[in-house]
Structure 1
Amino acid sequence: MKIYKQLLTGLCLLLAFTSCSKKTDIAPAYNENVLASFSVEFDNIVGDRTLTFNNTASPYTNAAGEKFTISLVQYFISNIKVSKADGTTYTVKQDSSYFLIKSADRSTRFAKVKVPEGDYTKVTFTIGVDSLRSTMDISKRTGVLDPSGGHDGGMYWGWNSGYIFFRMEGNADAISNDVSGDPTGKKAFRYHIGGFGGYSAPTINNIRTVTVDLTAGGVAKVRKDRQSNVHLLVDLIRVFNGKNPFSIAAHPSVMFSDFSTSVSANLPGLFKHDHTEN
């Protein structure tokens, strides 16, 4: 009995020592001049399946019961902002905050930026390119925003002088041949969603803002000595099954039209926080 008590006492002392010696992860004082690495990862899925291009052997099915395949998905992410629980926010410098996510190129799935050290409970971003940048001189639109350099991946309407914010293409048997418009005979759908509105003559505005709460899946603990990555799932089935559900057969081709606003209203619902890697 005496030996048992000695062992129990020793174990309690060991646990207490371990607990006291464990380093507590306390966020440094907020300083906008001390920046650390932070990234948001965009992982494209379709319902409960990973995104696979042109999977004719096992097509996807939307809420309307239409089977479809996807051949291309690309979208702009911009104007990234992070927020702390106390309401402190930091907006990434705009020149460093434009990304083109190309699903066919996994190296583009990360939006990598610099933000002050801290514990962030929310991340906010824009789907598309804001009106200010869209109307800037071409010299201010470089990299993925350069409409003439081939870096934009076909995300600019030359005829409309504007960016395509979200582009998804594929095929669906539900589309009638007379409306597909595909010279190869494929029953193709095309969703090219853009339009930032206007000033003197307002037009279609499809810019959408997304705010993702990180508290359930893990806050982003940004530190200089580590990489913090917010992993988002982007569920493309919600293009059809979202806030404004629609059938592919009824709307096989949506570009710069009034219905594009119904499609763009579905886009914020694509993004869901899966977890955070700190």
Structure 2
Amino acid sequence: MKTYQQILLLCISSSMLFATCKKEKIEQPLEEPVSGTVEFDNIIGGQNLLLNTVNYSNASGEQFNITLLQYYISNISLRKTDGSVYTVNQDSSYFLVRENDPSTRFARFKIPAGDYDQLSFVIGVDSLRSTMDISKRTGVLDPAGGHDDGMYWGWNSGYIFFKMEGISPSAPVDPSGQRKFRYHIGGFGGYSAPTINNIRKVTIDLKASGIMQARHGRTPNIHLMADILKVFNGANTLSIATNPTVMFSDYSTKVSANYSSLFYHDHTEN
């Protein structure tokens, strides 16, 4: 039978052990995240993309210029060189790149310090977020937010993932008297049209042109090029004359298959 002194000593030892463990847990600091960016630099072929002023040519031999270009980037994740994957907080991982606004070229986020050799993201807005309560769809996702972007179909309660418009002699004359083509691509395979899913995931290996070295005190930038000519000249050859307007139709999946190959890694600025 334990004596009173033995029991008291045991209680004191247990209390000290508990206090030590508790103290150690409190003193362990959480790692402060660091800043990182991905830059989306729109080009066309080997040229800088210029809206309204320059005529380009596609694989069908059609001349065109581009008057409007914008697209959603979301669900960014990065893989470390040790194989672990970090997914950017989803509430902070929706971006709308607009060619007419250079400030939108950068997707800014916070990540743990480390070396990253692979980048993944989605072109479009995922089905979960698309169907969330409007209170969960803020910023660039707010359909009534006053953004002059026209990236939401009110009649279809869905986001336009990729929007490109322009002028081409190969397009028919529209009611305004212009020969316009329009590609407004959306659809997440949900309740409205389960056969149309234009969400596209892109994964880019960073090793060849420079991994991201995320460190405190600096903001590394992954510089991607987006070759918009591939919308026409990708896996599917897109003719303006044959398809001057593509919106919510089965053919839109061919356009989204093309734009999934737009991006390549140019370099990383560490």
Give TM-score, length-normalised by structure 2: 0.87
Return the alpha-carbon distance in structure 2 between the equivalents of residues 268 and 138 of structure 1. Answer: 28
The amino acid of 1:241's aligned partner reads N
1:272 is aligned to 2:268: no
Unaligned runs of 5+ in 2: 1-28
Q: Could you report, residue by residue, the CA deviation over 1:114-133 in whole angstroms, capped at 9, with x for unpaired residues?
A: 01111100110000000000
Q: What is the SS of the residue equivalent to 1:198?
A: coil
Q: Which segment is superposed worse, 200-209 or 117-126?
A: 200-209
1:217 is aligned to 2:209: yes
Q: Could you report, residue by residue, the CA deviation over 1:54-110 in whole angstroms, capped at 9, with x for unpaired residues?
A: 12xx41001111000000000000000000233110000100000000100000100
1:161 is aligned to 2:157: yes
Q: Is the 8 A contact 2:172 2:180 kept in 1?
A: no
- Cα 1:51–1:67, aligned 2, differ >3 Å: closer, same or farther? same
- Cα 1:250–1:190, aligned 2, differ >3 Å: closer, same or farther? same
Return the alpha-carbon distance in structure 2 between the equivalents of residues 254 and 260 of structure 1. Answer: 6
Q: Could you report, residue by residue, the CA deviation over 1:17-56 in whole angstroms, capped at 9, with x for unpaired residues?
A: xxxxxxxxxxxxxx9843100100000001011111112x
- Cα 1:159–1:199, aligned 2, differ >3 Å: closer, same or farther? closer
Return the alpha-carbon distance in structure 2 between the equivalents of residues 200 and 213 of structure 1. Answer: 35
Return the alpha-carbon distance in structure 1 between the equivalents of residues 196 and 62 of structure 2. Answer: 28
- Cα 1:147–1:273, aligned 2, differ >3 Å: closer, same or farther? same
In the other structure, the counterpart of 1:233 is: 225
In the other structure, the counterpart of 1:259 is: 251
Q: Is the 8 A contact 1:146 1:152 kept in 2?
A: no
Shift of residue 199 of structure 1? 5.5
The amino acid of 2:43's aligned partner reads I
Shift of residue 200 of structure 1? 9.5
Return the alpha-carbon distance in structure 2 between the equivalents of residues 230 and 168 of structure 1. Answer: 24
Q: Is the 8 A contact 2:224 2:266 kept in 1?
A: yes
Q: What's the Cα RMSD here?
A: 1.5
Return the alpha-carbon distance in structure 2 between the equivalents of residues 171 and 234 of structure 1. Answer: 20
Query: Which structure has the greater CA radius of gyration?
Result: 2
Return the alpha-carbon distance in structure 1 between the equivalents of residues 158 and 118 of structure 2. Answer: 30
Equivalent of 1:128, from 124, 129, 136?
124
Unaligned runs of 5+ in 1: 1-30
In the other structure, the counterpart of 1:59 is: 55
Percent identical: 63
The amino acid of 2:251's aligned partner reads F
Equivalent of 1:72, from 68, 88, 91?
68
Give TM-score, length-normalised by structure 1: 0.84
